[in-house]
A and B are shown apart, each in its own frame.
Chain A
Amino acid sequence: MEIGIQLVNELEVRISEAFCIFDHHGDKFIDTRNIGNVLRFLGCVPSENEINEIIAATESPENPGETHLPKFMAHVSTLLMNRKMEPATPEKLLSAFEILDPENKRFLTKEYFGKLMEEEAEKFSKAELENMWPVAIDPITGNIPYLFYINQLRHKTTIYDVADAIREELAANEKEKKKERSPMPQMLGL
């Protein structure tokens, strides 16, 4: 059941591709609980709060718990063009860790870090915590040498460049349209 949806630019193509991975019936609807995954796949780094906002904004009123592609695309395109949820530099991530490591030991203990992740801010579930340990822990010391951990988390994101290009394209088109709409240069008889 291929319901064709018009994709007008590269940004929409990218968003649609990520979206459709979770579209099991081919009807261009996905479960809202996968929206976080879609965004992260695109390369964004949203917080749980931001994800909930997007879910609320794009959830289908006729089919609660599901989101339809066109609405999602429109909303997320705008966000991307405004550089929302953009991953910050790895240096910033390093600073975040350094705040947690006041004695500058260049590592965090599993106990401390685990407790922080599990009980503070946008808490990790037990499953998320378990998934994190193989990535974060140095098996020999049992601690988290966070520089190493940061390098595991880095990933090249190109979506914002695409969004930029589209934004400029749209801006250029707007300019063209404005020119057309403005009245013909008046032939003023002098």
Chain B
Amino acid sequence: MLRSCVCLQRAGGGGGKRRSSSVEDASSCRSSEIERVGASMQTTTLGSNGQPQTLAPQPNTRASSLLQLFHRKGWCKHFRKPLRGMSATRVEKSIRAAIFIQKWFRRHQARQEMRKRCNWQIFQNVEYACEQDQAELYKFFNDLIKHMPQAVEAGNKCNSQRCSGLEKSGTLYEESGDLARIELEVPIQKSHIDLMIDVFRKKRGNRLHPKYVCLILREAAKSLKQMPNLWMVSTAVSQQVTICGDLHGKLDDLLVVLYKNGLPSASNPYVFNGDFVDRGKRGLEVFLLLLSLYLAFPNAVFLNRGNHEDSVMNARYGFIREVEGKYPRNHKYLLSLIDEVYRWLPLGSILNNRVLIVHGGFSDSTNLDLIKSIDRGKYVSILRPPLMDGEALDKAEWQQIFDVMWSDPQASQGCKPNQLRGAGVWFGPDTTESFLKRHRLSYVIRSHECKPNGHEFMHDNKVITIFSASNYYAIGSNKGAYMRLNNQLVPHFVQYISAASQTKELSFKQRMGIVECAALKELAVRMREHRDELEEEFQKYDPDDSGCITIAKWCFVMESVTKLGLPWRLLREKLAPGTDSQSVNYIRTLDLLDTDVIMKAEADGTSVMDALYANKASLETIFNIIDADHSGEITLDEFEKAIDLLVTHMPGVYSKDEMLEKCRMMDLNGDGKVDLNEFLEAFRLSDLHRKEQQEEYLRKRSTTKSIISQHPSDSVTKLADTISKNTVIIERDIDPTDCEAKDVEQKS
């Protein structure tokens, strides 16, 4: 019966058939830049015996599949019906209809992906813009050192307090409020770990007594100091190893990993690849738990330093605030101990002499032998010049550490400075290849970048990114992942989101809405830093004071002021709500920035200026660099030179004249010199003045708003409400079983 089917003949004849898209074709909806798996990978898979084998190309001709379809649907029966017309044409038409439907659906999908990507880009670009500010500090120091050449010769005065942070014991003060009633002692053991996890899981009463925090930090620093710059990790005993990426204070994710993968032991070693703190609210608990795991299972836990294991970053990204909030009476001492741990954290790991595991990546000048020989204890912060004991500063060495901590892989060839972050490099596949060859390595595992699926392959599978903080930007933004390597170092990934029940009840649309609101909030807070400049620029293009300008002009102003590189046209409807399709009501944009929800978010965060001024160590370093002869004093001229440089790097932060005036005020004996305390005082007064000015300005603005913006429009209020509702975070006890974990199908 079927052999006489006309359609079969037609199908066999071919012709007019469209080339079907390959399954791996990523030109249709993929949200992340998933590197195309090499051609060999496509046809290689693990056979049932666990050995790689090549798949035979499947005989998936149109004929055979249509044949199956006919079998099942009994279409041929239909075609016998005279009403149905020529069967061949029908098949043709059906195929054409299918293509039609397919391309329509792909457009729909792409638009959904665009929304996701747009939100992602907002989060990422705002984050990197903030990092750029931090990197400015690094550049400023480099410049300062360049302009004070005597500083390089004479070396930086070693801050004696820093060098012996471990020896000095501080006094601990009583903290108010609930403290967990557990006791810890050295040596830390598994029983202590269990206790700690039980305590940390709770949403209340989860603080250790400060003396135990000190205990853990001091013991860890003492132990880490003995370790080499690069851990040597081996699977000889365990036959496997697990690697985790960025955690960023997400204790729930760490507990999910420990729950799903077990506590560390000789047969279950772990490498944690940096960025344990900042951004998430439980950074201290994550840090303490990781250090305790290290102390309890010393040959099974390997901690790599990340770019956020750095007090300068912590000042900006929330960890310092977190410690201040949890231990208000002891935070200064605890933070100094944390600094001690940071400086002694090794810079990376080498696994089985074949795989390098570092936080960021590498550059074309990265030299592992050099890195192995560095005295890493000098780098209390990576963003400040290292402490030197009468030695000259080695900028090349400093650069090596930077590259390893801050770099990102790129798809295109070459190795160039990382403009997005402002530090480190972008390294291309050619850089990877020569690096691996030079050091006789097989591949590199790194973290540092958030990925929608918690992991990503690049550079022909030679660079693997692993990121373990799920819902990093917002609930629903991304999965976290950890990887296990077997004895042959073949990777296997497990993806998860923590507190899964919070998102399970939500529809796709609702989840999208939450991410979108969180993104808008971040963006609006960042925009607030430029609020006045925005208003000025908008008004330039609105001579009639109508409150509206063209879309093109609005996009132009947004980009030229914020320099965030975002798709402003896409965001127009959100940032100027209720606006029509021809023009933009920029008053609405400004009003949005002035809503309570945004202003409160701004107050919760830390601005660049707060971070810098608060960082006494940085200011001290500046002073010590200028004071090259270690006299304890600097001249006003030298001070002026330093301020000049500061203003170049961070315009808008300092007013040069003001600083000089303050400094002159300090020079009470009029001999044209200033010592460290007077120097710090000048900054403190300048900061005070700046804060007062800001408050005065805010007061003025709230009372003299222009008539148009006296009452924000309904659409702005509505949007602010939506943002407020969708970005509320409810603290709960952590339940690591409440996760959506899934093994990822892996090719080779």
A→B interface (CB under 8 Å): 1, 13-14, 17-18, 20-22, 24-26, 29, 31-37, 40-41, 43-49, 51-52, 55, 63, 65-66, 87-88, 92-93, 95-97, 99-100, 102, 112, 115-117, 119-128, 131-132, 134-135, 152-153, 155
Q: How far is the CA of A10 from the CA of B491 in the complex (A)?
A: 48
Contact A25-B107, Cβ < 8 Å, known A32-B27, A124-B102, A128-B28: no
Partner of B105, one of A44, A125, A132: A132
Q: Determine the chain B residues whose CB is within 8 A of the CB of A96 once the complex forms.
A: 96-98, 100-101
User: Does the CB pair A121–B18 fall under 8 Å?
Assistant: yes
Query: How close is B544's CB to chain A, nearest CB, in angstroms?
Result: 23
Q: Determine the chain B residues whose CB is within 8 A of the CB of A124 once the complex forms.
A: 102, 105
Q: Determine the chain A residues whose CB is within 8 A of the CB of B426 once the complex forms.
A: 25
Could you show 30 A-B contacts with beta carbons less than 8 Å apart? Answer: A13-B552, A17-B570, A21-B118, A31-B411, A33-B25, A33-B26, A33-B27, A33-B30, A36-B27, A37-B110, A37-B117, A40-B106, A40-B114, A47-B99, A48-B103, A93-B104, A102-B84, A116-B69, A117-B98, A120-B62, A120-B66, A120-B98, A121-B102, A122-B20, A122-B21, A122-B103, A123-B20, A124-B105, A125-B25, A135-B108
Q: Determine the chain B residues whose CB is within 8 A of the CB of A66 once the complex forms.
A: 411-412
Q: How far is the CA of A26 from the CA of B569 in the complex (A)?
A: 17
User: Does the CB pair A116–B98 fall under 8 Å?
Assistant: yes
Q: Which B residues between 1 and 34 are near A, CB-CB below 8 angstroms?
A: 18-21, 23-30, 33
User: Does the CB pair A131–B23 fall under 8 Å?
Assistant: no
Query: How close is A104's CB to chain B, nearest CB, in angstroms?
Result: 12
User: Does the CB pair B565–A100 fall under 8 Å?
Assistant: no
User: Does the CB pair B28–A36 fall under 8 Å?
Assistant: yes
Partner of B28, one of A45, A48, A134: A48
Most buried by A among B27, B90, B118: B27
Q: Determine the chain A residues whose CB is within 8 A of the CB of B508 once the complex forms.
A: 134
Tell me if B594 counts as interface (CB < 8 A to partner A).
no
Q: Beyond the given A21-B114, A48-B28, A131-B29, could you list 18 further A-B residue pairs with CB under 8 A, ordered by the A residue number?
A: A17-B568, A22-B117, A29-B412, A33-B26, A34-B27, A36-B106, A40-B114, A47-B99, A87-B104, A93-B100, A99-B90, A102-B78, A117-B101, A120-B95, A121-B96, A122-B18, A122-B99, A128-B29
User: Does the CB pair B84–A48 fall under 8 Å?
Assistant: no
Tell me if B121 counts as interface (CB < 8 A to partner A).
yes
Tell me if B149 counts as interface (CB < 8 A to partner A).
no
Summed over the interface, the residue pairs from A and B with CB atoms below 8 Å come to a total of 174
Tell me if B265 counts as interface (CB < 8 A to partner A).
no
Q: How far is the CA of A29 from the CA of B78 in the complex (A)?
A: 52
User: Does the CB pair A25–B420 fall under 8 Å?
Assistant: yes
Partner of A122, one of B69, B102, B108, B117: B102
Q: How far is the CA of A123 from the CA of B107 in the complex (A)?
A: 15
User: Does the CB pair B419–A26 fall under 8 Å?
Assistant: yes
Partner of A65, one of B105, B109, B411, B569: B411
Would you list the 6 A-B pairs with minimal beta carbon distance, nearest first? Answer: A40-B110, A96-B97, A36-B27, A48-B21, A33-B26, A121-B98
Q: Which B residues between 107 and 149 are near A, CB-CB below 8 angstroms?
A: 107-114, 117-118, 121
Q: How far is the CA of A131 from the CA of B27 in the complex (A)?
A: 16
Q: Determine the chain A residues whose CB is within 8 A of the CB of B111 once the complex forms.
A: 40-41, 155
Q: How far is the CA of A123 from the CA of B114 in the complex (A)?
A: 22
Query: How close is B108's CB to chain A, nearest CB, in angstroms?
Result: 5
Q: Determine the chain A residues whose CB is within 8 A of the CB of B555 once the complex forms.
A: 17
User: Does the CB pair B93–A17 fall under 8 Å?
Assistant: no
- Nearest B residue to A146 via CB reads B101
Tell me if B655 counts as interface (CB < 8 A to partner A).
no
User: Does the CB pair A33–B36 fall under 8 Å?
Assistant: yes
Q: Determine the chain B residues whose CB is within 8 A of the CB of A117 once the complex forms.
A: 98, 101-102, 105
User: Does the CB pair B98–A17 fall under 8 Å?
Assistant: no
